[in-house]
Structure 1
Amino acid sequence: MSNLTPREIVSELDKFIIGQSDAKRMVAIAMRNRWRRQQLPPELRDEIAPKNIIMMGPTGVGKTEIARRLAKLAGCPFFKVEATKFTEVGYVGRDVESMVRDLMEIGINLVRKEEMEKVKVKAEKHAEDALLDILLPSSKPKQPGMGFFNADEPAEQEVKPAADQSSTREKFRKMWREGKLDEREVEIEVTVQGGGVEIMSMPGMEDMGMQVNDMVSKMFPGKKKTRKVKIREAYDILIQQESDKLIDMDNVAELARERVEQGGILFLDEIDKIAGNQEGGGSANVSREGVQRDLLPVVEGCVVNTKYGMVKTDHILFISAGAFSYAKPSDLIPELQGRFPLRVELTSLDKDDFYRILTEPQNALTVQYKALLETEKLTIDFSREALEEVAFNAQKFNDETENIGARRLYTIMEKILSDLSFEAPDRSGDSIVIDKVYVQEQLQDVIEDRDLSRYIL
């Protein structure tokens, strides 16, 4: 990510997301600014705050997908949470600081995975040796004074078993590498979490609950348990165990904390639902404003206590999104508005966009369905006219019922292909071209019955 220019970031996003060029440009600039900030002297670097973003637009136009793809492209800790999950402190619901703890957990897993890759070769070697120890328990030559020893036995007989053992071990190693032992079963010791005690914390007191749970887990260490598994599975378990021995978790926590603080992204979805000017009573508006006030210090920059240490939120990038159909960004409290200086509006999708969504992205729905049915040896293909008909109907249903954007394509495609999906095992080896007439036949009942289309599509 550090080598990608804004133009290259947009180009990568174009592979998965159709349209919305303004939003792509804005998030690309925000990500590049993070790289630029890292190049500055430390005294100036700490003064530059992240440019948080509000994305506005109807559901199903790509707001969440832009943030998700951006995080995957950047390889940085990313966590998505709905703002409606939070409630004002003192009410039943999640504490706003919990999203920073969740982000830290994701950062730990991300760094741990990278560290495991670094020690992979050494872990595989150790795991192979451990596996051979299980297959062929070592029988060391007996020494005087250790266990039972017969002085009348010739000395060469004491050494011979070790030589035989070494030869047999290498034969087993060769058979294992050639895959001849994969189906054989062995017994292996695994660690299971002990205690099984989970302390539930009161709303707004997650810190205390987290600390008590951590203390209880240390009081009840993991127990050893013997499992009988196939050698291939045993090898994977041993690699995991050996990797854990080679990785310094204190170092992992330190690296993860730095990465979360300097490169973490928190995606706040449905932020419009906590804006004040909405349908509902006055008390509901008070509660929503309370959530905003709880969010404010986290967005502004504070220190959150996690089980891996204190995490500063000053330079975490916050990307928020909402339809803003009933509320406006100006309905948020002024302090929170000021912390989201960048605003971009995403446009609604039309039938041309739907057609492009069905054909251009690397993970297009047509590609997914072809691959799924190919597993049953059923080959399907879509004519251009068929996909144009799907796109036309998607726009039509969005206009006439509820506009759910590109998500409408999922329901329509599933309706069209439901019969084929059911019959696929019985039609192995067939090759089918889905044309415009087939699409119209499958959608005929919901096209004719408007009330039915509201429930099905």
Structure 2
Amino acid sequence: MTPKEIVKELDKYIVGQHEAKKAVAIALRNRWRRQRLPEEMRDEVAPKNIIMIGPTGVGKTEIARRLAKLVRAPFIKVEATKFTEVGYVGRDVESIIRDLVEIAVITVKEEKMEAVMERAEEIAYDRLAEIMVPESKPSQQSIQSLFDVFLSPQKAQTPDFEKEQSRLRNERNRIKKLLKEGKLDDEVVEIAVTVETPGVNVIGIGGDLANIQDMLSSLFPKPRKMRKMKVKEALRYLTQEEAQKLIDMDEVIREAIDRVENQGIVFIDEIDKVAARSGGRGPDVSREGVQRDLLPIVEGSKISTKYGLVRTDHILFIAAGAFHIAKPSDLLPELQGRFPIRVELKPLTKEDFMRILTEPKNALTKQYKALLETEGVEIEFTPDGIEEIARIAEEANTKAENIGARRLHTVIEKLLEEISFNAPEMKGEKIVIDREYVRSKLEDIIENEDLTKYIL
């Protein structure tokens, strides 16, 4: 996709912030360009990491998430404050890459399973038919006949197994046909299922030790037990089981690691919270330690995971923070140099709120309208009603903490509280949300500053 096409796609979900969209679109296009360079030059081109500067709720996370979804790239969002310096109790920064690889493996595995699902379903039908029409137990006479064949094959008569096998085939084919038609969905069958044993979470240990449990579990087969379930559920379980058998996990892991190394996106939120503002004492030492641990990963290093070593040289890192108190220059100089692109996102205005409520594909007004339609209730947002919602959201952000577009969720939830509660008894009704309706529900709250802080 060209940078313009990427921005156009992001515009469908995120209002404004053109500079930030432009920056991530260029960074993404540079990846495509790098893949077309000669191999000796390809490894020399480092990704252009980005720092997004802006208050909460203006679209920083959403831009990164939509970007990853757009190109189907492995994506992880982490908060810098959740990590501790190596040697302290808590999560170390290398777990970011381990988690990213885990996400990529799951994604690739699902894609591969989807590709073989049709074949897996056919095998599952056969297995289910065999479970529902088991082979008959051999009678005493059959066992004696087999024994006679063994002792004197020239005199004994061979049991008529072909007739029995033919009967089984016909009956199983009949059951299989009924299964495909869905006529046996509510019947109950008993199948063997794998018992998942709960894992043990160990806090504050490195990746090598954390992987010991996975290695030990792979040495021993997982226990199985018999479980009764409906045919429909059993078919779904057996299809998944067969699909897993049909895929090559080594190929899945290779592809997942390749995607992480060449397409992975790591979004580090609250990077400003680990920016040391004074040299040398108290929590600032720990903050600086987290930055120093992040530095080799952002620069490019090899991280040990349970799937093997993963290179971080070409993973795109997007850092974000409000930087109300700290400044980007408070970060370690080495870390600053690894984020060459700085983008400032603008605070949202009333006009932005109005666009957010109407323009995106996933606009809140469209979501709530669809939700209430399931109850048979129709709601209509008029232009002046939307303008009033935007005004109240902006005013609430001014009086209380500015949480950006997230304020709209709170305002609309409070606005539609009574309708949502009474919706099952309002089937067939149509409600118009205009300026007067919004004011009647929210004006008292917005005028009282204390209520605004606690309710909106």
Query: TM-score per shorter chain, which class?
Result: over 0.9
Uncovered stretches (5+) of structure 2, i.e. residues with no partner: 150-154
Q: How does 1:154-169 map onto structure 2 within 5 Å?
A: 158-169=161-172
In structure 2, the residue corresponding to 1:55 is in which secondary structure? strand
Residue of 68, 71, 74 corresponding to 2:71 = 74
The amino acid across from 2:329 in the alignment is S
Q: How does 1:387-398 map onto structure 2 within 5 Å?
A: 387-398=386-397
Q: In 2, distance between residues paired with 1:171 and 1:221?
A: 35
Residue number in structure 2 paired with 1:265: 265
Identity between Structure 1 and Structure 2 (%) = 57
How far has the Cα of 1:157 moved from its partner? 6.0
How far has the Cα of 1:218 moved from its partner? 3.2
Q: In 1, distance between residues paired with 2:69 and 2:394?
A: 30
**Contact map agreement 1:199 1:212 (CA 8 A) in 2:** no
Residue number in structure 1 paired with 2:222: 222
Residue number in structure 1 paired with 2:84: 87
Residue number in structure 2 paired with 1:379: 378
Residue number in structure 1 paired with 2:441: 442
In structure 1, the residue corresponding to 2:5 is in which secondary structure? helix
Q: In 2, distance between residues paired with 1:146 and 1:29?
A: 76
**Contact map agreement 2:55 2:404 (CA 8 A) in 1:** yes
**Contact map agreement 1:192 1:224 (CA 8 A) in 2:** yes
Tell me the matched-pair count: 449
Q: 1:199 to 1:78 in 2, by over 3 A?
A: closer
- What whole-Å deviation, never above 9, does each CA across 1:386-423 have from its counterpart, x for those lacking one? 11100111111112222111011010000000111111
Q: In 1, distance between residues paired with 2:138 and 2:342?
A: 75
Q: In 2, distance between residues paired with 1:276 and 1:101?
A: 27
Which has the larger displacement, 354-363 or 213-222? Answer: 213-222
Residue 405, structure 1, aligned to residue 408, structure 2: no
Instruction: Provide the TM-score with structure 2 as the length reference.
Output: 0.93
Residue number in structure 2 paired with 1:55: 52
**Contact map agreement 1:199 1:213 (CA 8 A) in 2:** no
Residue number in structure 1 paired with 2:10: 13
Which has the larger displacement, 144-153 or 229-238? Answer: 144-153
Q: 1:423 to 1:159 in 2, by over 3 A?
A: same
Q: How does 1:31-430 map onto structure 2 within 5 Å?
A: 31-139=28-136, 158-194=161-197, 196=198, 198=200, 200-201=202-203, 203=204, 205-277=205-277, 282-430=281-429
- What whole-Å deviation, never above 9, does each CA across 1:125-184 have from its counterpart, x for those lacking one? 111111111121245999x99675599999896533333333222222221111111111
Q: In 1, distance between residues paired with 2:256 and 2:144?
A: 50
Q: 1:301 to 1:334 in 2, by over 3 A?
A: same
**Contact map agreement 2:79 2:268 (CA 8 A) in 1:** yes
**Contact map agreement 1:352 1:391 (CA 8 A) in 2:** yes
Q: CA RMSD in A?
A: 2.3
Q: In 2, distance between residues paired with 1:229 and 1:337?
A: 57
How far has the Cα of 1:445 moved from its partner? 2.3
Q: 1:184 to 1:339 in 2, by over 3 A?
A: same
Uncovered stretches (5+) of structure 1, i.e. residues with no partner: none
**Contact map agreement 2:145 2:157 (CA 8 A) in 1:** no
Which has the larger displacement, 349-358 or 423-432? Answer: 423-432
**Contact map agreement 2:145 2:159 (CA 8 A) in 1:** no
Q: In 2, distance between residues paired with 1:208 and 1:154?
A: 64
How far has the Cα of 1:42 moved from its partner? 1.0
Instruction: Provide the TM-score with structure 1 as the length reference.
Output: 0.93
